[in-house]
Amino acid sequence: MDPSDAVEDPEFEDDEAGPLEAVAPDGSIIKLPQKKFYRQRAHANPLADHALEYPSCPSAMDWSKHYPAYFPMASPSADASSGSVVTSSDKKVEFADIGCGFGGLLMSLSPIFPEKLMLGMEIRVQVTNYVHDKIQAQRLIHPGKYQNVSVIRGNAMKFSTNFFEKAQLSKMFFLFPDPHFKTRKHKQRIISTTLLAEYAYVLRPGGLMYCVTDVHDLHLWMTHHLEQLPQLFARLDPESTEFKEDPCIKCARRPAQRLIRDFLNRLLSIIITRSAFL
């Protein structure tokens, strides 16, 4: 990583004025995680060999640790050689927030889609820990809520098909990904021809992929690569009713609201594409 990249993420500022603790229904005091205690570099090299844990295949993933309300039991399958895990639920993750950051989108979508399991994938250790602790705190403060959301430290550029089956996801989110401005780092961008093929594989036919950025160069890059694969993705018309009434759009805009408050003149690009892969 270049020294110029070694800066702290501006999202650390977002919760400084918020409450430090909350009272659970049973009267106990729940301390809320504070980003200032989860210091982390703004970016991580997705091509580096990080010490990541991932299943050999989607059926080997134990989701009971992430969604205990939906997967109360987990045990090895009868065929131990397969590495599969048997759970008492047939539900599957449907929404994936790739590079979820501090989990703002997940927490916003959770009450809107209470029966949809959502997973945030984040490669940075401390940021992942923050989102995990935030989810656990909210589950204690609001019993029965936020049970459908979780986070995992993972690298979707390498292991998305280890977690998700073919046509499993109905929505994938790529909000404000690292633009990797330098030409020699373009290979680290989360949107590329090769990766789009993998995303199309795990998205169900008709599933939606949301790409949001405030960097014009990255907007052009993502648009170009998506247009090169019309057999996999079809872009939604921003003027269409489906686009305008999508509840995810409002949630996707929220990370940019601070930029607007700070009077920064930036382009906010929202690209929604529909999977056409069969």
Query: Whole-angstrom distance between the N-terminal and C-terminal Cα of the chain?
Result: 39
List, as residue ranges, the binding site. 99, 122-123, 155-156, 175
What average pLDDT does this structure show over 259-270? 55
Alpha helix segments (H runs only) across the chain: 104-109, 125-141, 156-163, 193-202, 216-227, 241-244, 247-261
d(CA 51, CA 53): 7
List, as residue ranges, the binding site for S-adenosyl-L-methionine. 99, 122-123, 155-156, 175
Nearest to 226 by CA among 190, 266, 187: 190
Threshold 0.75, pTM exceeds: yes
Nearest to 55 by CA among 129, 128, 160: 160
What average pLDDT does this structure show over 158-174? 96
Of the pLDDT bands very low, low, confident and very high (cuts 50, 70, 90), residue 4 is: very low
Q: Give me the sign of the Cα torsion angle 32, 70, 155, 205.
A: negative
d(CA 190, CA 153): 16
Taking 80 as the threshold, does the pLDDT of residue 145 lie above it?
yes
d(CA 179, CA 260): 19
Domains of the chain: residue spans and CATH: 3-43+91-275 (3.40.50.150)
Q: How many CB atoms lie within 10 A of CB 255?
A: 20
Taking 60 as the threshold, does the pLDDT of residue 266 lie above it?
no
pLDDT tens for each residue of 210-244: 999 989 999 999 999 999 999 999 999 999 999 98
Percent of the chain with pLDDT over 70: 80
Catalytic (active-site) positions: 178
Provide the residue count of the chain.
Answer: 278
Of the pLDDT bands very low, low, confident and very high (cuts 50, 70, 90), residue 270 is: confident
CB 259 within 8 A of CB 189: no
d(CA 48, CA 59): 26
Tell me what the pLDDT averaged over the chain comes to.
Answer: 84
The region that residue 124 occupies, defined by phi over 0 for left and psi between -120 and 50 for alpha, beta otherwise, is: beta
